[in-house]
Amino acid sequence: MNMTCSRLLAALVGRAGRTAAVALVAAGTLGGHGTAAAATTGALPAGAHAVRTTTDTDSATDTATVSDGATARSALRERIVSIARGQITPAGQDPEKTGTCDKYFAYADGTEKQSKCAKTAWCAAFADWTWHQAGVKPAPTTLSGRGVGKWGQEHHLFHNRQPARGERPYTPVPGDLVVYGPPAYAKGGHVGVVVAVNHDGTIDTVEGNVGDKVTHRHVKPADARGGGQKFHISGYVSVPGA
């Protein structure tokens, strides 16, 4: 490249104020007049083509998009946690006697929407309701605690607490659902909402139908049990898209 071309390209880069510029790749040595004309008019001489590199603007746009997506996912999880914590039964109250827990059946399948918490196990209804209220899509509608785990498997969202050979260990995240008992569309088991994951490996959960109330629990996953059968935690259902 001759001196004229070098000076013109340097001037163009200076005026652009960007770190990336258009690179000229020629099949042969560029002549003085042809190079000057190309640099001045923006046209490329015969045998040359432009190679566009990423600009600062492109990078900023991509970064903003990624950041916005991460913020939205974080906000969704925070919403789940906030809703779950807001349902913890105050001391001295009995939601089954007052019927205030009947609302958790709003997203149940078919006629199960008419269920009464005083007569129907409602831990899964509470977990379903929490996700639906937060705007999670899709979200389970089963009234089976173990069924929530099965739903998670069908949607590729279930993570075993004890991973099988070749599986990566999964650390739960606030907003996830914690499942007690092997996943299956069957009665029994238990399910709750993870609201905190602690440095010592313990987790905090909010679970419906524990002592007939919405209750906060602080548990060690390896030891925790839930449901009438006292099942161990089988795994977690992660929030879709988050």
The answer to whether 130 and 239 are in contact (CB under 8 A) is no
Residues 17 and 128 in one domain: no
pTM of the model: 0.73
**Residue 61 domain-assigned (yes or no):** no
In a domain, 98, yes or no: yes
pLDDT value for 191: 98
- Evaluate whether residue 206 is within a structural domain: yes
Residue-averaged pLDDT of the chain: 82
Q: Output the pLDDT for position 56.
A: 53
Assess whether 81 and 40 both reside in one domain: no
Which has the higher per-residue pLDDT, 5 or 211? 211
| Per-residue pLDDT band at 155 (split at 50, 70, 90) | very high
Distance separating alpha carbons of residues 78 and 28, to the nearest angstrom: 60
12, 93: one domain? no
Q: Do both 80 and 198 map to the same domain?
A: yes
Residue 63 lies in a domain: no
Alpha carbon dihedral 149, 155, 156, 157, in 10-degree steps, equals -50
Do 44 and 80 fall into the same domain? Answer: no
Q: Are residues 18 and 138 located together in one domain of the fold?
A: no
> Distance between CA 3 and CA 8 in Å, rounded?
9
| CA–CA–CA angle 185, 191, 195 (5° rounding) | 145
- As a whole number, mean pLDDT of residues 56-82 equals 72
Measured distance CA(115)–CA(58) in Å, rounded: 54
Range of the domain at 10: 3-53
Domain tally, the chain: 2
Least confident interval from 64-68, 136-140, 142-146: 64-68
94 in a structural domain: yes
pLDDT at 107 over 70: yes
Residue at 108 is within a domain: yes
Euclidean distance between CA atoms 179 and 157, whole angstroms: 12
Residue 41 sits in the same domain as residue 122? no
Model pLDDT, residue 78: 98
* Residue 62 maps to a domain: no
- Together in a domain, 225 and 165: yes
Statement: residue 51 has pLDDT above 70? no
Confidence of residue 177 (pLDDT cuts 50, 70, 90): very high
Do 99 and 49 share a structural domain? no
Say what the pLDDT of residue 58 is: 52
Backbone angles phi, psi at 75, to 5 degrees: -65, -35
* 89, part of any domain: yes
Express as a percent the part of the chain with pLDDT over 70.
Answer: 72
Q: Are residues 88 and 182 in the same domain?
A: yes
Residues 49 and 80 in one domain: no
* 84 shares a domain with 48: no
